[in-house]
Structure 1
Amino acid sequence: MRIAPADRTLPPSPVDPPPPGWLDGVPPGLADHLTTALGHRSAAVTTRIGEVVAAALTGDDDFLGRLRPAGFQLSDEDSAARYGGPVALLTGRQDLVAGYADQFAALERYPDGAYAVVPAAGHYLPLEQPEAFRDLVGHWLARLA
């Protein structure tokens, strides 16, 4: 994954409008983030993810403010780096935060890697589509046995 937002390959924004009231009950400071991060836009999913994200909002905003514009190289961005062990790359098709295309490109560095992109999911795939996530992880784990 590419850390600097300008370096990421992101999908287009959804063209279908979200259902009315899908952000009801979400703290105002979270609404913009969830509008970008979620691909499965429903009140139930938004409430579930809003609770998890709101509970985790204890980050260092000053540090993140310096990190995000400059970015940093992740260990798997070294084109010579390869990992031969099993890897599962799972991503949401509507992930407007990290995208899905860069993860597919990273698959070259994982010769025993599996890749799946889930429609109607964004950045919070495990919470947006828990059944699909469970099935994909279960299939991947069964393959390892």
Structure 2
Amino acid sequence: MAWKVVNLNTMDGREEEGGKRILYSSDSFHMWLHSDAPGVVRGRVAANGAQELHRHYADEMFFCVQGELTIRFADPEGVEVVPPGAFVVVPAGQLYSLENTSKTEEMILLGSRAEAHDMPRLGDEGEPVLMGAHSWAVEQTEMEKAIGATHERWASK
């Protein structure tokens, strides 16, 4: 596969606000831009109001571009506040949840994980956690379509 350049400065705007916007995806890696309004907790929210923790099969990285990311881990002591310009690496299998704790700013994260974008998130007992649809920032190449990184894959979810 040839290299790929994605210029965020010339990218078209989105129709809807917030959520995950996939910048690149293959069968072994994906990268995205994630944004949330102040106070938004990302993920499924249980009846008691707490976000459900989830985990992934691969290490994950979040770089905080703007706002304030609070990441909560299963360990009661496990709360990290990530300011703009800092990043956090979440090891594979680690339970966590994300929250925008900025009072006024939209939170913008650049994230990456060494697995395809459609690998399921796992809950505390290893059960799949439902995910919302993602929007694609760039058109997929024929090579990416051939390995399964396609818009159609999300349309059926």
Does the pair score TM above 0.5?
no
TM-score range for the pair, normalised by the shorter chain length: under 0.3
Q: TM-score when scaled to structure 2?
A: 0.26
Relative to its length, the structure with more strand (as a share) is 2
